[in-house]
Homo-oligomer: A and B are copies of this chain.
Amino acid sequence: LPRVKRATLTDVARLAGVSVTTASYILNGRSEEMRISSETEAKVRAAIEELDYRPNRSAQNLRRSSTQTIGVISDFVASGAFASQMLTGASAAARSLEHLLVIGETLGDRATEDLLIAEMRDRQVDGIVYLTVAASLVSVPEALHAGPTVLLNCLDPDVPLPAVLPDDEGGGRAAAKHLLAAGLREEVWVVGDDFALGSTAGHDRLRGLSLSLEQAGSYLTGVVPCEWTVQAARDALHAWLGAGNRASALVCLNDRVAMGAYQALAEASLDVPHDVSVISFDGSDLASWLRPRVTSLALPFLAMGTLAVEQLLTPDWASGGVTRLPFALDVGASVVGDVE
């Protein structure tokens, strides 16, 4: 690689006519503490400017045995915008804390996971964010138990590491609140499975929803079970409607389910929101593309990514506990009374 030879601290010191120590102190903002004359400092700064000097990070790393770098171990980033949003949040936080992000995608493979973690440790990353989109209940690799680690979008029941997650139960409550405010109290159905493999999101959302409904003297009428996909939701709801069932409101456990629901409702010539109100979870682009726009509880992925990194870089990172961030209500036009 045609790497231009760069100036070294010694060069700077020589040009400024001072010792490396002095130059180093100034560079590290310790001139005050070391009571260095402002003229000396000016000379050094001029030399730095002149030589376009930048400290050699590899040397600093070796010396300090720490890089200004944090690692992100992620299972899947390609699929969906979820991981990407967390990455964006993490990236922004890292940058504002003067760190860079090293990423490793494991595709859910344990061996790859271990390999990447070792590789990152070798490079002396200052900490690792363990990020998951496929499952919220995980078993964190041994190698991560000790080091600074923050779990992102997942939880290990057996290891007390700090974790940042969405507040699914609160999201469920928020959905209930929005429906109740619209006067929807009867025939409220959920579409989607109670819980997916290794995930608690559905369960928690459902609980928040039904508890809130009950507190308001109402109740959840039932669940149309299906996988959280467009196709499955459409088929399930199609069959359900075909059996003569009707609802006043459908709570879809994610936006793809909502899309499937829209398809089934359209086939049955049921109008949203006139005949049926629909509310959903995710707040993805998809929700805004459907007609009418789906009212959806947006996952706080960006903020989660940010918080995870901030937590990780805190001196007492280990004491973080579990943080659940609130969903944001993204009002569309799919619930009776919604004003977009």
Give the interface of A toward B (CB within 8 A). 1-4, 54-59, 61-62, 65-67, 69, 77-81, 83-85, 87-88, 91-92, 95, 100-105, 112, 115-116, 118-124, 126-127, 146-148, 230-231, 234, 256, 259, 263, 266, 285-286, 289, 291, 302
Q: Which residue of B1, B77, B81, B95 is within 8 Å of A126 (Cβ)?
A: B1
Chain B residue nearest in CB terms to A99: B119
Chain B residues near A122: list those with CB within 8 A.
54-57
Partner of A2, one of B65, B146, B302: B146
Q: Which residues of chain B are near A67, meaning CB under 8 Å? A: 58, 123
In the complex, the answer to whether B78 meets A302 with C-beta atoms within 8 Å is yes
Cβ of A69: which chain B residues have Cβ within 8 Å of it? 102, 123
Q: A81-B84, A120-B100, A230-B289 are in contact. Are A62 and B54 (CB under 8 A)?
A: no
- Contact yes or no, B102 A65, CB < 8 A: no
Please, which residues of chain B bring their CB within 8 A of the CB of A285? 79-80
Q: CA A257 – CA B191 in complex, angstroms?
A: 28
Given the complex, which residues of B lie within 8 Å of A59, measured CB to CB?
62
B95 touches A88 (CB 8 A): no
Complex interface: chain B residues within 8 A of A123 (CB): 57-58, 67, 69, 100
Closest 4 pairs between A and B when the two form their complex, measured CB to CB: A78-B88, A58-B61, A230-B289, A58-B62
In the complex, chain B residues whose CB is within 8 Å of the CB of A87: 77-78, 103, 105
Pick the residue among B3, B85, B95, B119 that contacts A65 (CB under 8 A): B3
User: Could you tell me the distance between the alpha carbons of A233 and B56 in the complex, rounded to whole angstroms?
Assistant: 52
Asked whether, in the complex, the Cβ of B1 is within 8 Å of the Cβ of A148, the reply is: yes
Closest B residue to A262 by beta carbon equals: B291
Given contacts A81-B81, A84-B81, A302-B78, are A101 and B103 in contact (CB under 8 A)? yes
A119 and B100 contacting across the interface, CB-CB below 8 Å: yes
Rounded to whole Å, the gap between the CB of A107 and the closest CB of chain B is: 8
Given A58-B124, A84-B84, A127-B1, A101 and B102 contact (CB-CB distance below 8 Å):
yes
Nearest chain-B residue to A64 (Cβ)? Answer: B58
CA distance A67 to B120 in the complex (A): 12
A105–B78 contact, CB under 8 A? no
Q: Which of A57, A59, A259 gathers the greatest number of chain B CB atoms within 10 Å?
A: A57
Q: State the CA gap A105–B306 with chains docked (Å).
A: 14
Contact of A80 among B62, B65, B81 (CB under 8 A): B81
